Amino acid sequence: MSLEEAQAGRVIAHIDLDAFYAAVEVHRAPKLRNQPLGVVQYNPLGDLQSFGPDDPHRHMNSSNGSLIAVSYEARKYGVKRNMRGNEARQLCAQAGMELQLVQVPTSHGKADLTLYRQMSKQVMDVLSRLSICERASIDECYLDISAEAARRLAAASGHPQPPVNADRIHVAGQVQAEGGASAWWARPTEAWGCGERLLAAGAAAVADLRAAVHSELGFTTSAGIAHNKILAKLVSGLHKPAQQTVVPLAAVPALLFPLPVGRLRQLGGKFGDQLTRDLGIATVGELASVPLARLEAAVGEADAQWLSQLARGIDLEEVKERRLPQSISCGKTFRGPTQLRTLAGVNKWLVELGKELEERLAADRAANERTPQLLTLGLNHSGAAAGVSRSCALRKPTAAVIAADALALVKRWVADRPGWAITGMSLASSNFTAAPTGASTITRFLQPRVGTRGAPASPPPPMQPPGAAPGRGALAGRLSAALPYNEQDLDPEALAALPPDIQRELRLAFMASRGGPLRGGPAVTAGSAGGRLGAGRAPAKRARAAAPGAMERFLTRRTG
């Protein structure tokens, strides 16, 4: 089976939300519907106030802020992203229209995108009803609609049915053909290839999902439907808003070959520039015609194979189930006079970023029962084209610990850089794992007793090598990071009330972090730990072995 045939059995869609930030503001305030609208950035040099999503002060038509999103009603008057408010307002005024401007919500001294993230999640939940959904960004995702397309095709006895609103579904390569897309749908059964039938059935499924998003949430979307991710994304923006485009295999050469090489994914940067210079080419068609041997001489065997396939529209990358972000991050830029040049200034903003990250991680854990293991600090600095990043274990998802550990990373970075000036700073949490069952309950139960003092913050622990598998004591290590207590902080009676296996996990945790056994308890080894917390036996069964009362209620299996 050829690679072309291998991908012909798949139906992949790329869904793009239309003018998403502006659409969210209309969803929040319907009075803005059908009016030219722009979403503006806050003034980073002014006296920044915190404005929540429903704060009426966010509606500021006189703002001269930079536009980060523009509605389609404003675009028809020439308003574009990155325009200043004054220029955009003039363009609308010339047409006799008033431009509505809404500032993004702000919190912790920066933009707060929570409102947009919440709306994005609702959209992704709808789109995932019929397919595997891979969230690509806040306003776009990939769907693998193959199974649903096959089901629909079987139900239609092998002949695809035209979808609802077929007049808003375009077919690549049919624009100049007689009858256009309508003629493509109206062909007799024998004129359809197997791959085309699947694409058509998938297009109908995608149209239904997009209709559901619009009817239930009020958002319009555009889509591309093809046999792979690259082609689907390439055409999803060809016809906007609220339309979709299908790419049959026969249309791929005409679609791809005239494009500049830089339009292909991963070829829009320095690698693509160097490739076109070294090979003396400019278009995808020219890249497709380069002999494989010459490609191998230029970039190596592995990259040569990939480039050859890419230029012919072949991409076997799978859509991976991912409706949740792989990382949760926040950041802020510091331009001109706001550049950070002192550790005190750095710490001030690390605390603010840490507060935001703590809030978002708490919400994420409550909703998704997961916790991150890695903290990454990102820095941009004056005089450097590229940023730098430094990572450490995320010991505890609180603002104080996050800020302290990030500051330690900054101190290491600035140690040999006199005259440093930071122009951008971000904090990211990643490497999510399932939150240990019951850990939050135990954390609440074993709060430090009144009158005791916690241990001083320790420096960031070393990062585990990428790909290293956690050992038996991995949970104990995570738990010790989540419980920053001294031995004297623990109530011996409370500890004794816990089930034996949890006691052992706690003792291991303190041994790992303190270098010795817990006061009043036997020395234990990693091998004596009684299994992972929350795994194996049911919590209710373990609770019967503990003292009755509060702990029994704490550790009983939750319902629902």
SS3 content of the chain, % helix, strand, coil (to 5): 45, 15, 40
What are the strands, taking DSSP E only, across 436-483? none
Written as one string, the DSSP assignment of 219-269 is --EEEEEESSHHHHHHHHTTS-SS-EEE--GGGHHHHHTTSBGGGSTT-SS
Q: Which tokens sit at 343? A: 């550790």
| Gap between the Cα atoms of 446 and 123, Å rounded | 40
DSSP 56: G
Q: Report in angstroms the alpha-carbon separations of 102 from 45, 47, 70, 81, 455.
A: 18, 18, 11, 14, 46
Q: Which tokens sit at 90? A: 């003039």
Sign for the CA dihedral angle at 435, 440, 441, 442 comes to positive
Q: Within 10 A of 308 (CB to CB), how many other CB atoms are there?
A: 17
Q: φ and ψ at 377, to 5 degrees?
A: -100, 130
User: Does 87 qualify as catalytic in the annotation?
Assistant: no
Q: State the catalytic residue, choosing from 73, 134, 140, 148.
A: 140
Q: 458: number of CA atoms within 13 Å, CB side?
A: 19
Any idea which residue has 């274990």 for tokens?
A: 393
| Gap between the Cα atoms of 345 and 339, Å rounded | 9
Any idea which residue has 């978002």 for tokens?
A: 360
From the list 92, 117, 82, 111, the residue with the least C-alpha distance to 37 is: 92
From the list 103, 96, 101, the residue with the least C-alpha distance to 77 is: 96
Active site amino acids: 140
